[in-house]
Amino acid sequence: MRTRREFIQHLTVGAGILPFAMSTDAFGMSSPSVYIPQVQDGPVLKVALMGLGSYADRVAKAMQDCKRAKITGLISGTPSKLQSWGETYNVPDGSRYNYENFDAIKDNSEIDAVYIITPNALHHEQCLRVAAAGKHVICEKPMSINAKEGKEMVDACAKAGVKLLIGYRMHFEANTLNVVNMRKNGDLGDVKFFQGLSGFKIGDPTQWRLDKDLAGGGAMMDIGIYAINGARYMVGEEPIWVTAQEVKTDPVKFKEGVDETITFQLGFPSGAIASCLSTYSMNYLDKFFLNGDKGFAEMQPSTGYGPIKAWSHKGDITLPHVTHQTTQMDQMAAIIHDDSKPQIPVDGEEGLKDMKIIDAIMLAVKSGQKVKLDLA
């Protein structure tokens, strides 16, 4: 029996980074519709993980299956985590840092890049420090708490001559790319409508995600960004206006500046529209729906850790599940070392566009007016 990795390799053609695969529609007709992410052999990206919380744990475990990325450094404010993680992932004492002394990575040749996986409000300062140390930056989304900080991050990395990549794992997920390619190939016709539902019922009221000073907001920063980003790559255009409405049912749990539920609408140059929901008060909301004048594609779950489930007017989309963070880190190694170009961008400019949209959504909530967008 083949492993998932072997199955994907079997589908590849040559040594290209994004080889063709075939899909079968509801009438049994095969047609080329997707490129499955596949990296060429090459230098291994040596990564320091910053912020050793639950998501970093998921990333670290996924990286054990990477071909071209490995953990070579750790940054944390908790000494016991540095000790236990160092032993688990064979990171020597000299490559373990805290938040006060991590600027010393400048002199560590065993670190090429730092993956920032800390609370949102810390990303900006930490990114600037990593860039100043001459290391590439991989930053978890959202890249910052507003567009101003995001632009400063982009500029700092450009000035330092290092790459800034954002942790958009879905940009490399095979079923997602299948739907995007269906749209590009004209299978859906002219896109008219996108729906993105992103939400879950949040638990512990004392966690950092409900602390405005650390999170920079509430559900929109954490989960709503998936619908924002998804609308852009699914429709294949940049929005030119936004309207938005907020509902708050629990002002004790969701204090001032921490959004509970926001519905928002995006308008695109072609006339396509998007209707989206971001919430911390409802479960079972992980759905994308893309509608054109010739067909549709639907995904549910659409952005969870997988497996992603998708189907269209042509039938089920059933490409094999590979751990998202494994694919992401291998692909980011290729971007940094090979200057490869992903089908959907993951650079700092991509992250900045999402921050501009979030800023506009919050302005639309406050003003009750349609807000124009300029993402150029």
Identify the DSSP state of 33: E
Phi, psi of 327 (to 5 degrees): -60, -45
- Tokens 């994004």 correspond to 18
Burial 170-198 (b: 16+ CB within 10 A, else e): bbbbbbbbbbbbbbeeebbeebbebbbbb
- CA pair distance 310, 154, nearest whole angstrom: 34
8 Å CB contact between 212 and 257: yes
What is the model's pLDDT at position 36? 60
Percent of the chain beyond pLDDT 90? 89
Residues 155 and 80 in one domain: yes
For residues 245 and 363, membership in a common domain is answered with yes
| Distance of alpha carbon 216 from the chain centroid | 18
Question: Which pLDDT value is given to residue 18?
Answer: 42
Q: How far apart are CA 344 and CA 169, in angstroms?
A: 10
Please give the Cα distance from 115 to 371 (Å, whole number). Answer: 33
In a domain, 332, yes or no: no
Question: Structurally, how many domains does the chain consist of?
Answer: 2
Mean pLDDT of 260-281: 98
At residue 268, what are phi and psi to the nearest 5 degrees?
-115, 160
Q: What pLDDT does residue 134 have?
A: 98
| Position 307 in a domain | no
Q: What is this structure's pTM?
A: 0.92
Please, are residues 325 and 333 in contact by the beta-carbon 8 Å criterion? no
Sheet holding 241-247, edge to edge: 315-317, 310-312, 296-299, 285-292, 191-199, 273-279, 261-267, 241-247, 371-372
Residues 227 and 282 in one domain: yes
* pLDDT number for residue 39: 83
* Average pLDDT, integer, range 239-244: 98
Backbone angles phi and psi of 214, in degrees to 5? -100, -35
pLDDT one-digit tens code per residue, 248-266: 999 999 999 999 999 999 9
When pLDDT is cut at 50, 70 and 90, the band that residue 14 belongs to is: very low
- Residue 182 confidence (pLDDT): 97
- How confident is the model at residue 68, as a pLDDT? 98
Q: What is the mean pLDDT of the chain?
A: 92
Q: What DSSP letter does each residue of 197-265 carry, written as one string?
A: EEE-----TTSGGG-HHHHSSSHIIIIIHHHHHHHHHHHTS---EEEEEEE-S-TTTS-TT--SEEEEE
Check residue 40 and report its DSSP letter.
P
Looking at the fold, whether 122 and 199 belong to one and the same domain comes out as no
141 labelled catalytic:
yes
Instruction: Look up the domain containing 259 and give its range.
Output: 190-293+348-372
Q: pLDDT tens digits for 186-228? A: 999 999 999 999 999 999 999 999 999 999 999 999 999 999 9
Both tokens of 125, joined, read: 């300062």
* Cβ neighbours for 126, distance < 8 A, ≥ 6 positions apart: 50, 116, 118
As given in the structure block, the two tokens for residue 278 are 């971001």
Model confidence at 37, in pLDDT bands (50, 70, 90)? low
CATH no. for residue 279?
Answer: 3.30.360.10
Q: Is 343 in a helix, a strand, or coil?
A: coil
228 and 158 both lie in a single domain? no
Same domain, 241 and 356: yes
Structure-token pair, residue 61: 């475990």
Q: Is the per-residue pLDDT at 361 higher than 50?
A: yes
Q: Which of 99, 131, 166 is the last residue of a domain?
A: 166
Instruction: Report if residue 230 sits inside a domain.
Output: yes
Helices 225-235 and 174-184, interaxial angle, to 10°?
Answer: 40
Token representation of residue 160: 């330092």
Say whether both 220 and 361 belong to one domain: yes
- Residues 218 and 289 reside in one and the same domain: yes
Instruction: Give domain status of residue 55, yes or no.
Output: yes
Per the listing, tokens 């990575």 go with: 105
Same domain for 248 and 139: no
Residues 146 and 206 in one domain: no
**Which residues is 299 bridged to in the sheet?**
288, 310
The pair of structure tokens assigned to 330 is 């291998």
Residues 241 and 370: beta-carbon distance below 8 Å: yes
What per-residue confidence (pLDDT) applies to 40?
Answer: 86
Of 27-31, 101-105, 117-121, 209-213, minimum mean pLDDT range:
27-31
Helices and strands per DSSP (H, E), number in the chain: 11, 17
CA distances from 213 to 22, 122, 209, 255 (A): 48, 10, 9, 11
* Catalytic-role residue among 46, 135, 141, 356: 141
Query: What residues contact residue 139 under an 8 Å CB cut-off, 6+ apart?
Result: 115, 116, 123, 127, 153, 164, 165, 166, 167, 351
| 214 and 354 fall within a common domain | yes
**Catalytic residue (choose from 97, 226, 233, 280):** 226
264: which strand partners?
Answer: 244, 276
